[in-house]
Amino acid sequence: MSGRAVAVVGATGAVGEELLALLASRRFPVRELRLFASAPCSGQRVAWGGREHVVGPLAPGCFAGVDLAFFAVGADVAAAHAPAAAAAGAIAIDFSTAYRRDPGVPLVVPEVNAAALRGHRRLIANPNCSTILLTLALAPLQRAAGVRAVVVSTYQAASGAGRPGIEELRAGIAALARGEALPAAVAMPQVLAGNLFPHVDAFGDDGWSGEEDKLQEESRRILGLPDLRVDATCVRVPVERCHSESVAVSLQRPLDRAAARAVFAAAPGLAVVDDLAVARYPMPNLQTGRDEVAVGRIRTGRVFDPGLTFWLVGDQVRKGAALNAVQIAELI
């Protein structure tokens, strides 16, 4: 029989839904689809491929006969079940932090380091969403002029905290519009409506957050630059979808604005949106639902010499999560 038996763990979440939509729109060869989620969501029905599929619980033997398993779940669930999927013969693509630091597990952005998939052992890590967006822009700069160090501030959407983050933002905005007291923060550490805060992931004893650590550690692996210095500040902003990043790069060789635009324009996965005369630059409301990451406000740096400064926006639910994983599956 043609096609693959595909499992999606976390099928009812925001990323799981995006993943299912992409499998359909990109006509991924799915012969059989199995959907799994946490116990409260078990039993739900999801329409896909012209029929309804019942979401089931993770149980012993549930991956028997599965060729490809996507894990759009937290690290605890992935660590507990992805090895079982691989042992059953499936290729497991994990979205969580469970295996990103494991040197034996490829950490892959297909446009950047597809060669890392060679020799995989049926377990592949999908990078952090902010890292995916950043490395798509850094990789062509590394090839053209060499990258020495990066200073990046991220402006991360509520959907980075999952569906509860979106619902919490919407409830807060509605309360503001009615002139009511804002509901307490539950999905995020602070109220986000009418606010922003520099707190994405837990803080370490050194004052850096887990999200900020990921930007350095994962970028080093993906770009093959083990000594790359990345100074990051990650901020949650009251936007539903799409992460934005302000990036300043220290280069090894000079690269002027025109040359940088050409480098970005030729890079896979990027789109140059940079026409200041008509106020055209990347924004979340333009990138939502788009595959590419938009780069704009490109200019020669004033701190790093040689250096480059730019702004990027990407749909972190799509390219920063679901699409990246589907592209990995397509390559395999």
Where in the sequence numbering do the catalytic residues fall? 129, 243
Peptide bond into 103 cis (omega under 30): no
| Phi then psi dihedrals of residue 111, to 5 deg | -70, -15
Q: How many CA atoms lie within 13 A of 298 on its CB side?
A: 21
Tokens 């799509």, residue located:
318
Token pair listed for 164: 């509860």
Kindly report the length of the chain.
332
- Looking at residue 330, what DSSP letter applies? H
Long-range interactions of 321-324: CB distance < 8 A, separation 24+: 321/15, 321/18, 321/19, 321/72, 321/95, 321/126, 321/129, 321/132, 322/15, 322/18, 322/19, 322/21, 322/22, 322/72, 323/18, 323/22, 323/291, 324/108, 324/109, 324/110, 324/126, 324/127, 324/132
